[in-house]
Amino acid sequence: MQVISLDTRCKACFERSYKHLFEKFAVNPEQQKDFYAYFEEVFRTYKTLSAPEIQIKLNAEFIKLIGINDPFEQEKKEGNQMALELYKEWKTKVFQSENPFELALRLSVAGNIMDYGVANQFDVHKTIDNVLNAPFAINHIKHLHHEISKANKILYLGDNTGEIVFDKLFLEVINHPRVVFAVKDAAILNDATLEDAKYVEIDKVAHVISNGDTAPSTLLNRVSQEFLSHYQTADVIISKGQGNLEGLIGEQDNRIYFLLMAKCDVIADVLKVNKGSFIVYNQKHI
CATH assignment of the domain containing 168 = 3.40.50.10880
CB-CB contact of 236 with 111 (8 Å): no
Indicate the pTM of the whole model.
0.95
pLDDT by position in tens, the chain (length 286): 556 778 889 999 999 999 999 999 999 999 999 999 999 999 999 989 999 999 999 999 999 999 999 999 999 999 999 999 999 999 999 999 999 999 999 999 998 887 655 555 567 888 888 888 889 999 999 999 999 999 999 999 999 999 999 999 999 999 999 999 999 999 999 999 999 999 999 999 999 999 999 999 999 999 999 999 999 999 999 999 999 999 999 999 999 999 999 999 999 999 999 999 999 999 999 8
Q: State the angle between helix axes of 163-174 and 73-96 in degrees (0 to 180), rounded to the nearest 10.
A: 30
* Cβ-count burial 138-152 (b if 16+ within 10 Å, e if not): bebbeebeebbeebe
Q: Does residue 196 lie in a domain region?
A: yes
- Euclidean distance between CA atoms 123 and 138, whole angstroms: 23
- Dist. CA 212–CA 214, nearest whole Å: 7
Please report whether residue 224 resides in a domain. Answer: yes
Report d(CA 153, CA 230) in Å as an integer. 9
Residue 20 lies in a domain: no
Residue 15 lies in a domain: no
Does residue 92 belong to any structural domain of this protein? yes
Residue 217 maps to a domain: yes
Specify the DSSP element, H or E, that contains 154: strand 154-157
10 close to 217: Cβ distance less than 8 angstroms: no
Instruction: State CA 42 to chain mean position distance.
Output: 24
Number of domain units in the chain = 1
Is 31 a domain residue?
no
In a domain, residue 33? The reply is no
Enclosing domain of residue 258: 73-285
Q: Give the closest residue to 66 by CA, choosing from 38, 26, 16, 118.
A: 26
Contact 4/249 with Cβ under 8 angstroms? yes
